[in-house]
Structure 1
Amino acid sequence: MEEEVVGSTSSSSSSSSKFQLTFWEVTAAGGVVLGFMVGLLGVYLTMPASDYSFLKLPRTLEDLQILRDHLESYASDYTIQVLVGYCMVYIFMQTFMIPGTVFMSLLAGSLFGVLKGVALVVFTATAGASSCYFLSKLIGRPLVFSLWPDKLFFFQAQVARRREGLLNYMLFLRVTPTLPNTFINVASPIVNVPYHIFFLATVIGLIPAAYVTVRAGIALGELRSMGDLYDFQSIATLFLIGLVSVTPTLMRKSKLQHSIS
């Protein structure tokens, strides 16, 4: 089985390194981008006439604070437009692996509070991850083999070994920073992680980290650097939750080995 996996992977790697995509695959990806652009344009056209030079993807805490200060008044008067615009931007960033979604999570906490912010972040992150999953299933194989060959071999081997407890393993990956979420989104369809497992692990597994980030967004003015987001206690808590998620699988394997012996 391992020889079959490695053989197919190596052959796919050599052929996919050229990024050969069909016309219809490129057209589908372009259609997704166009759909997002049309949606964002619709949100922009329904907002009141104003100077929107402050609207840009935040790259620093200073950028985020400026964006928050301008959006606070719009969030109360034009709640639907702000929510739709926020969701589309977050999903777009997740779909196309654009860095900076952590800033969007902080913004959700700052604008909408903890409960609404966590619900919003989990919804948009899950929708964006799902969009990335299906887009990667269509055109992602060359990209994954080119950018993360070593991680892909590791992930593929782990998924093959943990088929019976795959949901627990995916939960562990979502809760802990063992593998980047971006990589998980793109690589999961390549290594045959079923979508229903991917979806459940994403919805449940993102809640702890979303809570930490959204809660920090409420005190946005007190953050001095992104390092303040995750202290030792927060990281240790996430790993503890991750270990709990894989405990049923470990216990099942232990019982199986004991019964065999």
Structure 2
Amino acid sequence: MEKREEDIVCSAKGSKLSVTFWEKTIASGVVIGFVLGLLAVYYTMPASDYSFLKLPRSLEDLQILRDHLESYTTDYTVQVLVGFCTVFIFMQTFMIPGTIFMSLLAGALFGVFKGVALVVFASTSGASSCYFLSKLIGKPLVFSLWPDKLSFFQAQVAKRKERLLNYMLFLRLTPTLPNTFINVASPIVDVPYHIFFLGTVIGLIPAAYLTVRAGIALGELRSIGDLYDFQAIATLFFIGAVSITPTLMTKSKT
């Protein structure tokens, strides 16, 4: 363990992660997309009092936001969609807490199927943006914030190179490691982007479904803790266990 941590320290101090032209293009495109998206929404919405627009930090804030946006969702669907995705992706990219409220809002405004599709799209896009941003500048930050988790994650990824997608699915399906940490640490421990992408887009679906469905009955929620009761967590762990079964079977044969 000490040797692995020493390797990470030396790597963080002495090297810079290589970034391809396309990765730089994607990162730049994301930033430009944020700006253009918000400007487009701002200039195409009718003149009104938008003081209610703020990032929700409680269920009460979320209910107020839902009540105001419901009327706009019908008449200005595209603007609401663009604004929602832009804010969600921005929050994911820069690790701003509160995306769970955005997932609830998606259910309240768009229903289950559209809401799940929207949340999975925005979550995957934001996670991808965070991945590339971390590849550019994230190594010192991750090591300073999560040195122990980074050492653990690096060791697990190294042991599971042949079945890495199964492991990434397990991480996304269960609360073993925080999603924020997975987003920023994956490029540092050499998780290929296509594995990261597939693990994210597939692995987030069950949790997104639970949260979006809860958003439909937003008024019945008393706290965020009501979203993940024992049954919900057990279900996610069961799906996660199924996802790593091929890896366990392969090890038992060798």
TM-score (normalised: structure 1): 0.89
Identity %: 80
Q: Could you tell me how far 1:11 is from its partner in structure 2?
A: 1.6
Equivalent residue in structure 2 for 1:96, among 94, 97, 100? 94
Equivalent residue in structure 2 for 1:67, among 62, 65, 68? 65
Q: Secondary structure at the match of 2:55?
A: coil
Equivalent residue in structure 1 for 2:251, among 250, 253, 261? 253
Answer yes or no: is the 8 Å Cα contact 1:108–1:214 preserved in 2. yes
d(CA) in 1 for partners of 2:178 and 2:122?
A: 17
Rate the CA distance shift 1:34–1:200 in 2: closer, same or farther, 3 A.
Answer: closer
What do the CA deviations read for 1:167-206 (whole angstroms, capped 9, x no partner)? Answer: 0000000000000000000000000000000000001000
d(CA) in 1 for partners of 2:192 and 2:3?
A: 20
In the alignment, does 2:207 pair up with 1:209?
yes
Task: Tell me the matched-pair count.
Answer: 244
Q: Could you tell me how far 1:8 is from its partner in structure 2?
A: 2.7
Q: Secondary structure at the match of 2:46?
A: coil
What do the CA deviations read for 1:73-126 (whole angstroms, capped 9, x no partner)? Answer: 000000000000000000000000000000000000000000000000000000
d(CA) in 2 for partners of 1:243 and 1:226?
A: 25
- Root-mean-square deviation over aligned CA pairs: 1.9
Which moved further from structure 2: 101-110 or 138-147?
138-147
Give structure 1 stretches of 5+ with no counterpart.
17-27, 257-261
In the alignment, does 2:10 pair up with 1:11?
yes
Answer yes or no: is the 8 Å Cα contact 1:109–1:214 preserved in 2. yes
Give structure 2 stretches of 5+ with no counterpart.
16-25
1:228 is aligned to 226
Answer yes or no: is the 8 Å Cα contact 1:174–1:206 preserved in 2. yes
What do the CA deviations read for 1:23-48 (whole angstroms, capped 9, x no partner)? Answer: xxxxx989855652342122111101
2:18 is aligned to none
TM-score (normalised: structure 2): 0.91
**Structure 1 consecutive aligned stretches of length 4 or more whose deviation exceeds 4 Å:** 2-6, 13-16, 28-35
